[in-house]
Amino acid sequence: MKLSKRATDVINLLRGTDHYLTSTEIASQLLISTKTIGRLIHKINAGTSSGKLIAGVKGQGYKLNYSNYLSEVIGGQIRISETQISAVERQRNSLEQLLKASPRALKNQDLFGDYYVSESVINQDIKAIRDVLRAYDIKLQNKAHRLNVVGTEHDVRRALQDIFFDRNIIDIDLSLDKHGEINTYSMDLCRTQLQLIERELETNISYPYNINILSHLYILVTRYQSGGTEPRRSVHLGPEALQVIVDNQTLYQVAQDVIVNVEGFLNTAIPESEIYNLLQYLLSSRLSLHDQVSMVVSQDKKVRDVTSFYIQEVGALLDLQTDAGILLGDLAKHIRPMINRLEHHIGIRNVLLEDIQQEYPGILKAVSKVSSRVATEFDLPEISIDENGFISLYFAKYFEQSRQNLQALVVCTTGLATSKLIETKVGMAFPEVVVIGTGASKDVTDKTVESIHANLVISTVLLNKVKTIPVVIVSAMLTRLDKERIRSVISRMRGSEKMLSDITNPQLIQVGLQVTDWRDAVRKSATPFINEGVATSSYVEGMITTAEESGPYIVISKGIALPHARPELGVKKIGVAIATLADPVNFGNKDNDPVRFVFALCAIDNKSHLKALSELVDFVGDQAFLDSLSKAKRPEDVYALIKDYEERIY
């Protein structure tokens, strides 16, 4: 069994210690989740024949069984990936040498001699390298058994940085790479300069920005050490670049100090354009210096517009009720440097991407879809999957915060034993609900729940004095159906279920509608769909055709009609239009005619409307609700009645 790079990293980490390491300790050093650690260890142990390679002890962590490890390695049962040189790795090594030396030519023998491969294999490697370079607009020249790459300095460094990222040459803790492929003295210099930047800016530069800056400096040093001519050419700075320098004097001075130190290390002059390049990397990082001026960031029009676009469009795709004010400030602090990275073609690598894809696939998919539109709408380059992963984390964080524990008050007639029984059952069935108190129904009012910061009441009796937060009415035994009601309320509070009040509004409601017959009743009751952009006129006519073809089954109970049609006939979004008729009309249903109330339905699929429809069925089965509905004088009264009943029922 050949181990993956991550599995190899886990084994190497455990091989370097004689005590147990917890999954959290392993995860923090390898920058992957504890769940991924568990999956890797399970896969390692499942693929070995000598027993468990990694032993786990509850409460202590994991430790390498060195005897089993030696048996597997000596017996050839496992191959550590870092000791294997595949064709891809060979090609990547050669490509790295060519990029470091660019534009100087290197002999084929110097590039491939140590691998002892045939001429045909070398030709295959050259073709593969050329294909890789094409993505960076870099050409590979092959003359007289010598290879060299030709491209702009920016593109050469971009390709080198991607190689460093792919090979994890610079580790997340900014240590030297595990493979011994970094010049120790050069890296020490670069780490010292990163510390200098942090010290002068009085900030701590976090991942991934520290890696970006460190790799930029190391590649800069490597290119000058290679003796190539391209990096020594000074690039003329235009008016726009000079204005950026004027606007960011503090950062420019820090970048200048770093480049002066690099000049001393290399004992060679470095053009001013390298100071500007480093400045752009600083501007493309999230620094506390920028966070302190978050008000300015949020007021920058492009940053604000892009951030708001993400919040609105991702929220719509995920059906996530977002508070733009909460998200805007935090996300804008990421979007600002991201825009700078995109505009200056500065890449970034997200080592958390695999975990994000596993933990939040829906969020990542939505963000990626919106990013494609952002690039078009705001004239930006294509936004990478790595960038999308970081943006997804902000929405995931908001999502998780919105799922924080609900604080519930349990109420019954007396407030004694029954309340305690319900409290125990709620705690077992709903870990996200914290019961913060129990009480007798006579003592519970809006003022009571406000004083203890409750946001949900679970009660065995109706509470007429509580109208500001949801009240779920349950039986004393808290049956399965009761638990379903509680789950439904929790889902609605978190925005994952739509209730009737979510899919209708006063603009879709008509009171005292004058109609001539059932067709007129359907057509007029559904007219607001057209006016409000919920559906087309074709859909409205389709409701009539459906009733003509299938019969008056749409009269679902006495006096209640529920006309609808297939979504493909013209539904644009989910909605319910409500009409009370001035004079009841017959629909042809002997059991339930005449109809006085029409609830026209628009559904975009088979699921999104089910909760609202279930609620509607409950409402129309409640004679008290229908009596109140018949007395309503305005659309606003009907909508308020629905909201009131939702709060009372749930």
Helix (H) or strand (E) holding 147: strand 146-150
Give pairs for 266-275: CB < 8 Å, separation 24+.
Answer: 266/221, 266/224, 266/225, 268/224, 268/232, 270/224, 271/232, 271/233, 271/234, 271/235, 272/234, 272/237, 273/234, 273/235, 273/236, 273/237, 274/220
Q: How far, CA to CA in Å, does 11 sit from each of 34, 56, 78, 88, 631?
A: 15, 13, 12, 23, 74
- Residues 130, 150: contact at Cβ < 8 Å? no
**Residue 336, number of CB atoms within 10 A of its CB:** 25
C-alpha 148/C-alpha 130 separation (Å) is 11
Tokens of 243: 């204005």
Tokens of 205: 């530069």
User: How many helices (H) and strands (E) would you count in the chain?
Assistant: 29, 14
Q: Hey, which bits of 467-574 come out as E strands?
A: 471-473, 509-513, 555-557, 560-561
Residue 228's identity, in one-letter code, is: G
User: Beta partners for 456?
Assistant: 408
Active-site residue flag, 216: no
- Residues 451, 433: contact at Cβ < 8 Å? no
**Residue 368, number of CB atoms within 10 A of its CB:** 18
| Options 216, 290, 334, 564, the catalytic residue | 564
Contacts of 296 (CB under 8 A, 6+ apart): none
For the chain, the maximum distance between any two Cα atoms, rounded to a whole number of angstroms, is 99
Q: Is the dihedral of CA 182, 188, 189, 195 positive or negative?
A: positive
Q: At what angle do helices 635-649 and 610-620 cross, to 10 degrees?
A: 100
Residues serving a catalytic function are 564
